[in-house]
Amino acid sequence: MNHAPLALPRLTALIKQAVPRLLEGVVAPLAVFYAALALLGLNGALIAAVAWVYSGLLWRLVRRRPVPGTMVLAAIAITARAVLGLWSGSAVVYFIQPELGTICISMVFLASVRMRRPLVQKLTLDYIHLPSSVLKHERVRRFFARITLLWAFVLLANSTVSIWLLLHESIGTYLLIRTTAVAVISSLAFVGSAWAFRRVLQRLHTETRVTPALTR
């Protein structure tokens, strides 16, 4: 009995799909906020960050392009942060909101593993396409469950460090050290995740070559 081989994407192709969306949804909004903060102050930065996110949503809707779920969540989150930040006039209030939100998200990550619906899998599909035959494979399901656990603890660590810095250091020091610390922790986790995913794909490639030969 012959088994149809899995249609497995190359890791380099997946990275090429993900990088532009990460730049658009994560890196660019941060760059806009920090640049506006230096030039226009806190209120100008809040308005610029909100304008950037909603202009991105509008551009996708006008072009009839799909809107990633992460972008919708970002728009909702930044709107709430900006309103509270403008109302309070406090940078601490603005910056502590996402950290508290991130702690909540880390708990959701943990719960999603318990419910056997790992959230990293859903978020990954916002950035790259994986065939359904790959997603249903038991090895891939275990991978996403473990990586979801990893990122739950990464998010929790990032928020813990950020809140401590925010409450004990100046805003300038907070921005500098927090950005560096989060970048280092997240980069290590990302490299580890990519390496693990590559190993999973390599093993699936091996299995798809071996299985047809055994069933002839």
The residue-averaged pLDDT of 15-42 equals: 72
Cα separation of 15 and 134, whole Å? Answer: 17
Asked if 49 and 94 touch (Cβ cutoff 8 Å), the reply is no
Asked if 208 and 6 touch (Cβ cutoff 8 Å), the reply is yes
Cα–Cα nearest to 148, from 188, 107, 94: 107
Above pLDDT 70, what percent of the chain?
A: 78
Cα separation of 89 and 73, whole Å? Answer: 24
Overall pTM surpassing 0.75 (yes/no):
no
Cα separation of 95 and 30, whole Å? Answer: 12
Q: 12 pLDDT exceeds 70? A: no
Cα separation of 14 and 214, whole Å? Answer: 30
Distances 36 to 44, 52, 66, 67 between C-alpha atoms, Å: 6, 11, 28, 25
Asked if 78 and 53 touch (Cβ cutoff 8 Å), the reply is yes
Give me 80's structure tokens: 């709430």
Higher model confidence: residue 199 or residue 18?
199
Above pLDDT 90, what percent of the chain?
A: 3
Q: Of 32-36, 76-80, 151-155, 178-182, where does the model show the most confidence?
A: 151-155
On the 0-12 / 13-18 / 19+ scale of CB atoms within 10 A, 144 is buried
Higher model confidence: residue 216 or residue 147?
147
Give me 18's structure tokens: 């993900």
Asked if 17 and 213 touch (Cβ cutoff 8 Å), the reply is no
Higher model confidence: residue 130 or residue 114?
114
